[in-house]
Copies of this chain bind each other. A is one copy, B any other.
Amino acid sequence: MSAPFVSIVEVGPRDGFQPIEQFIPTAQKLSLIDKLYDAGIRRMEATAFVSPRAVPQMADAPQLLAYCGDKPGLDVQVLVPSQRQAERALAADARHLAFVLSVSPKHNQSNVLRTPRESVEDFRSIVAMLPVYAKVRINLATSFDCPFDGSVNPDEALDLIEALAEISPDSEYCLCDTTGRVTPDRVGELFMRAKARFPQIERWAFHGHDTYGLGVANALAAYHAGVGVVDSSFGGLGGCPFAPGATGNVATEDLVWTFAKMGVATGIDLTRLLDAAEDAAALPGACVGGRVRDALGAKAPLAEVV
């Protein structure tokens, strides 16, 4: 029997860089992507095709995509929120699109100016124009909890998945805890329900945030529910720099450390990853998180009483 393995999707170059107001020079982004690749990252959300006016940090999406596309064995996904942006991404030779929509109507409206059902129709158009070689992941934001409306009814997430699965059961379905407020029991429960209801969907993923300290716990709950793909961001990059407590994505190094302790392979070298994470933490305006970077960077702790 082969050793257990989990596939980590490094989303730092997209979800981590995006909230940083000051533009990170493209060359610096490429250098960080190099370090991630050299650490063993083989799947990455490298950038987003969004309005450069709305998100100037993502204005160099085509350059990043072209650069990453040349790296052997790197599965590069790019975020697209609409049919129009999917067209731009495909024109730039994207091979793996990550479409985003929200379960919560309010969040979808705020995020992509559509109702969830309008986003489903956008998705239908995207699937219709996909080249045969292209892969799709669907990021279901606010699958568990919404910043505006709080806890999301699991049936709403399942009903939205049903509508999407009619269009494309072959896509990867990523349930996202956008606010960081879900608990592991609910993560496990929704995945178990979703997998039972949609046996035709074979690829599931989890995207969590660490705002309340449950990022790793929730990722483990997804893993134990049979989810083999988990998102994370090096250095825990991805919070909102204007809200000190709104820390961001679960840190890739925290996941790699934890899975290694559990005997689950990730293919990622922790030492090299920590080097990249230190660079991420030094980015001006970055909002970083995670614990392992600090813990391993500190002097050996003194013996404690208990």
What 6 A-B pairs come out closest when comparing CB atoms?
A245-B298, A213-B291, A246-B301, A245-B294, A217-B217, A245-B295
**Which residues from chain A sit less than 8 Å from chain B, CB to CB?**
15, 18-19, 48, 79, 81, 100, 107, 110-111, 139, 141, 147-148, 176, 178-185, 207, 209-217, 220, 238-240, 242-247, 251, 254, 257-258, 261-262, 290-306
With a CB–CB cut-off of 8 A, which chain B residues contact A238? 304
Contact between A107 and B306 (Cβ–Cβ < 8 Å)? no
Contact between B217 and A254 (Cβ–Cβ < 8 Å)? no
Give the nearest-CB partner of A244 in chain B. B298
Contact between A100 and B305 (Cβ–Cβ < 8 Å)? yes
Q: Looking at A100, A211, A245, A246, which has the most chain B CB atoms within 10 Å of its CB?
A: A245
- Give, as a whole number of angstroms, the nearest-CB distance from A229 to chain B: 14
Contact between B294 and A184 (Cβ–Cβ < 8 Å)? no
Q: Report the bound CA distance from A81 to B306 in whole Å.
A: 10
Task: Known contacts A141-B306, A183-B261; decide if A295 and B107 are in contact (CB<8 Å).
Answer: no
Contact between B290 and A213 (Cβ–Cβ < 8 Å)? yes
Q: Looking at A15, A185, A291, A297, which has the most chain B CB atoms within 10 Å of its CB?
A: A291
With a CB–CB cut-off of 8 A, which chain B residues contact A181? 261
Q: Report the bound CA distance from A292 to B251 in whole Å.
A: 17
Q: Report the bound CA distance from A100 to B291 in whole Å.
A: 27
Task: Known contacts A292-B212, A304-B178, A305-B111; decide if A183 and B243 are in contact (CB<8 Å).
Answer: no
